Chain A
Amino acid sequence: MPKVIVNDIEVDADPKDNCILAARKAGVEIPHYCWHEALSVVASCRMCLVEVGEKKPDGTVVMGPKLVPGCQTPIKDGTVIKTDTQKVKTSQALTLELLLLNHPLDCSICDQAGECYLQDYTYKFGKAQSRLDEPKIQREDKYHIGEQIALFTDRCVMCTRCVRFTREVSGTAELQVVARGSHEEIDVFPETPCNNKLAGNVVDLCPVGALCSKDFLYKKRVWWLKSADSVCTGCSTGCSIHIDQNEDKVYRLRPRTNPLAQGHFMCDEGRFGFKYISDERRLTKPRVSESIALSKKSNGSKAGGLGDLNFSDPWSDVLEVTRTKIKEAIKTDARGFVGVLSPFMTIEEAYLLASYLKQLDSRVRLVLGPVPMVGTDDMYPKGPKGEAPEAGKVKFTIRAEKCPNRLGVEAVLRHFEGQVISVAQVAAKADATSWYFVGGYQHGWVDESIDRGVGKPSLLIVQDLFPSPLSDRADIVLPSGSFAERDGTYVNHSGLAQTANAAVRSPADTRSDGRILMELTERKGLYNAMAIRKEIGGVIRSLAALGVGDLGENGVKLNASNREPVFS
């Protein structure tokens, strides 16, 4: 480990680090615009200029005569970095003044205000005045630059992060720099807008407000957004994300850097695909069929009864009825009772339901819901003709498996059932008499074969987000939660277990799956994902890694020795 001295603080750095990373390890921030961990180095913004020298073995320090860009300068044992000298400070202030020469300073209408590196660095390293006497160059906004992105040309500082992203990560190379000198601009070729499936990332990459998301444009000032760390449920890559919300409305998703999962980016499908969670068609109320409600009423078991669902908490009655009905059905025909766990459930939720049903009667069958597959894995960077990259050069993959937790639910099923049976197999046999369906899918998932295979069972319970042919004729419908409302753990394609935290409260009379199942399965207390995770770690061998409870920001790879049961 090379020892680096940053402003008199000695730290152990990685031999591959540049000065910015080494300084970060010492807790010193070197401001930078063009440099990004996931992109190549161009050292063009000149913001990271620092003094670099060397500590000789005899203890003397020799500093270099000129300032050097921290992003481009590698370190070695004995490198001395100074970021607090007058020389460096003057350089930073002058660089910022230069970058701001033609900047319109329209912070009051800029979406980036509040998370803008121009603002932050000017505050920390810049100065309050500009010496420009000439009028500022004004340029046209370019709304044509992409379907999802708009370019406010005059805010740009020409860091070219976006250009390098389209060349190096998406491989589609739509964005480029046109003209030279102070006429430089980011642009696209006519008729070829930046519409690749990773295009939304350039908005995050842009350190200033030049590239903005059209979807989020002027919707909310960022200082009102509260974010929760979660996991994208769009595909089995399981990108780590931030869910940004205000007053229980989700405004945007942002990728959260996670070297174990996806790196720095996420795809547009996931980024903009969250809007179904506030769809009007969502199931909003628990419902029981009339026949059950009537029989319940005639028994006169509870004051108010189910006829008055509007006037009391609908859930307590419904869950009680559901529990009784499940027990009745299992008593009548345990083998005919099928619990369908969807790959959108978290491990905790799958475990709650599976352990409950199996404990009622071990002959109950547990099966895996349909696993949505769309096309094939989409790998980036693309070649010049749009071809997939060679193995080993893949920087981002949008997977064909459009669910977040197949492996996790399979691990739970394998523990309780011994094998993974798909719902299609059971539906084809048509020997089930009662079903408990858990959905939570983003798109319609009840295909004809399931619909026909289920037929008209004696008991049909559906816990789902959206109405489906099954929920229409279900005896009991439990409106459940979307990914933004769930606490729990997902296992992605590579066996990485990551925790997701709820960002918003459940809308209307819906409840997140964890809360429904906690009460349904007669457990005491409130749903606490971490407590259940610890329990799972002790019970299910292949998920023993979850026993630690707190999986940290990046998640935990399920052990190599346990790979087999998870993967096979």
Chain B
Amino acid sequence: MTTKSKREKTVKWGEEPKIGWMEAMYLPAVMSGVATAVRHALSGKPMTRQYPEVEPEIPANYRGVHRLNRDEEGRVKCVACYMCQTACPANCIEIIAAPAPKDDPHWENRDKYPATFTIDELRCIYCGMCEEACPVDAIELTSIYDLTGMTREEMIFDKEKLLSVFDKTIQSGQDPVRTNRGALGPASEEAETAKQGPPPPGRGRKG
């Protein structure tokens, strides 16, 4: 009983619009379609996109091929937290994490890194959830839309290939790094979080 009333509250039931005899003939609608076609034909402006010769302009939030970002020192930015793999609805991401090579000075201040990082670009549905879930903005979807390959194997991108997508898109300038969160997400940045917090009630710090 309660479920029904709740449903009545939350669901809006639409009704079919009533149509008169004019609309029921469909002729006015057909004619307006024909009019559009004629108008285009007479305007002299071609409406066809000359696709491979002229490439379309891709909006900045287009969700194309993935890339793995690099940090300032050129290392893979991913910290292998598995958030993207957890969020992925298509199960196309597979990470194997490992402790960062501490002996290497290059990796000194890192604890965990992805030993392997594979994305099956064929299985991916390009929903962008991985990008959404990433706490360090390491994975991003680029504006590369024309992904092709001869075999299924070459469509399974490994870490190197994903990093090379980053290098390529950064060089060409088509996809600048969008955001730049901290090393371990916003929560780990002391200064940032301190600013976010409200002042203590009644006893504000002086000076």
* Chain A residues at the B interface, C-beta cutoff of 8 Å: 104-109, 113, 129-136, 141, 217-219, 221, 223-224
Known contacts: A108-B83, A130-B194. The answer to whether A218 contacts B188 by CB under 8 A is no
Name the B residues within 8 Å of A134 (CB-CB): 190
A129 and B196 form a contact (CB under 8 A): yes
Q: In residues 67-82 of chain B, which contact A (Cβ within 8 Å)?
A: 79-82
Q: A218-B98, A221-B82 are in contact. Are A106 and B188 (CB under 8 A)?
A: yes
Encode contact with A along B174-207: 1 for CB under 8 Å, 0 otherwise: 0000000000110110110110111110000100
Closest to A97 in B: B197
Closest to B200 in A: A131
Beyond known contacts A129-B196, A217-B99: 18 more, CB 8 A cutoff = A104-B184, A105-B184, A105-B185, A106-B184, A108-B79, A108-B185, A109-B112, A109-B184, A113-B81, A130-B194, A131-B199, A132-B190, A132-B194, A135-B190, A141-B111, A218-B112, A219-B97, A221-B86
Knowing A108-B135, A131-B194 are in contact, say whether A218-B184 is a contact too (CB < 8 A): no
- Distance in Å from the Cβ of B103 to the closest Cβ of chain A? 12
Find the A residue at minimum CB distance from B187: A105
Cβ-defined partner of B188 (8 Å) among A105, A113, A132? A105
CA separation between A221 and B98, bound complex, in Å? 12
Verify A108–B193 contact, CB threshold 8 A: no
Of listed B136, B191, B194, B205, residue having the most chain A CB within 10 A: B194
In the bound complex, how far is the Cα of B196 from the Cα of A75, in angstroms? 42
B194 and A133 form a contact (CB under 8 A)? yes
What are the interface flags for B80-104 relative to A under an 8 Å C-beta threshold, 1 for contact and 0 otherwise? 1111001000000000011100000
Knowing A221-B82, A221-B86, say if A108 contacts B190 (CB, 8 Å): no
B193 & A129 in contact (Cβ 8 Å cutoff): yes
Are B80 and A218 touching (Cβ within 8 A)?
yes
* Chain A positions within 8 Å of B136 at CB level: 108
* Residues B101-152 near A (CB distance < 8 A): 111-112, 135-136
Bound Cα distance from A488 to B98, whole angstroms:
36
- CB-nearest residue of chain B relative to A136? B190
Chain B contacts to A: CB under 8 angstroms: 79-83, 86, 97-99, 111-112, 135-136, 184-185, 187-188, 190-191, 193-194, 196-200, 205
Q: Contacting B81 at CB < 8 Å: which of A109, A129, A141?
A: A109
Instruction: Determine the distance from Cα of A67 to Cα of B113 in the docked complex, in whole angstroms.
Output: 44
Q: Measured between C-beta atoms, what is the minimum distance from A239 to chain B in Å?
A: 29
B39 to chain A, nearest CB (A): 56
Complexed CA–CA distance, A126 and B135 (Å) = 21
Contact of A130 among B79, B86, B135, B193 (CB under 8 A): B193
Identify which of A105, A109, A224 contacts B79 (C-beta below 8 A): A109
User: Nearest Cβ distance between residue A39 and chain B, in whole angstroms?
Assistant: 29
Q: List 28 A-B contacts (CB under 8 A).
A: A104-B184, A105-B184, A105-B185, A105-B188, A106-B111, A106-B184, A107-B187, A108-B83, A108-B185, A109-B79, A109-B80, A109-B81, A109-B111, A109-B112, A113-B81, A129-B193, A129-B198, A131-B200, A132-B194, A133-B190, A133-B191, A133-B205, A135-B190, A218-B97, A218-B112, A221-B81, A221-B82, A224-B86
B184, A108: Cβ atoms closer than 8 Å: yes
CB closest residue in chain A, given B196: A129
Docked-complex contact B184 and A131, CB < 8 angstroms: no
B46 to chain A, nearest CB (A): 51
- Chain B residue at minimum C-beta to C-beta distance from A150: B99
Among B99, B187, B205, contact of A218 (Cβ-Cβ < 8 Å): B99
Contact yes or no, B197 A108, CB < 8 A:
no
- Complex: A524 Cα to B196 Cα, angstroms: 67
Check B111 against A108 for contact (C-beta < 8 Å): no
The smallest C-beta distance from B93 to any residue of chain A, in angstroms, reads: 13
Which residue, A109, A132, A224, has most C-beta atoms of chain B within 10 A?
A109
State A198–B165 Cα separation when bound (angstroms): 48
Q: With A and B bound together, what is the CA distance between A131 and B190 in angstroms?
A: 9
In chain B, what residue has the closest Cβ to A138? B109
Q: How far, in whole Å, are A132 and B195 apart by their CA atoms in the complex?
A: 9
Bound Cα distance A223, B136 (Å)? 20
Distance (whole angstroms) from the CB of A551 to the closest CB of chain B: 36
The CA-CA distance from A129 to B201 in the complex, in Å, is: 14
> Which residues of B are found within 8 Å of A132, using beta-carbon distances?
190, 193-194
Residues of chain B lying within 8 A (CB to CB) of residue A130: 193-194, 197
* Contact residues in A for B79 (Cβ distance below 8 Å): 108-109
The 8 A-B pairs at the shortest CB distance, nearest first, are namely A129-B197, A108-B81, A109-B112, A218-B97, A105-B187, A221-B82, A133-B194, A105-B188
Q: List chain A residues, Cβ under 8 A from B83.
A: 108
CA distance A133 to B194 in the complex (A): 5
CB distance from B94 to the nearest CB of A (A): 11
Chain A residue contacts of B188, Cβ below 8 A: 104-106
Cα-based distance from A132 to B188 in the complex (angstroms): 12
Report the Cα distance A217→B115, complex, angstroms: 14
- Residue of chain A at shortest CB distance from B199: A131
Rounded to whole angstroms, the CA-CA distance of A106 and B136 in the bound complex is 11
Contacts of B184 in A (CB 8 A): 104-106, 108-109
Q: Determine the chain B residues whose CB is within 8 A of the CB of A131 once the complex forms.
A: 194, 197, 199-200
Chain A residues whose C-beta falls within 8 Å of the C-beta of B98 in the assembled complex: 218
Cα–Cα, bound, A105→B181 (Å) = 14
A130 and B189 alpha carbons, distance in the complex (Å): 11
Q: Give the complex CA separation of A91 and B190 in angstroms.
A: 23
Q: How far is the CA of A144 from the CA of B109 in the complex (A)?
A: 18
Residues in A neighbouring B205, C-beta threshold 8 A = 133
Which of A106, A108, A217, A223 has most B Cβ within 10 Å? A108
Q: How far is the CB of B127 from chain A (nearest CB, A)?
A: 20
Instruction: Point out the residues of chain B lying under 8 angstroms from A141, CB to CB.
Output: 111
Contacts of B80 in A (CB 8 A): 109, 218
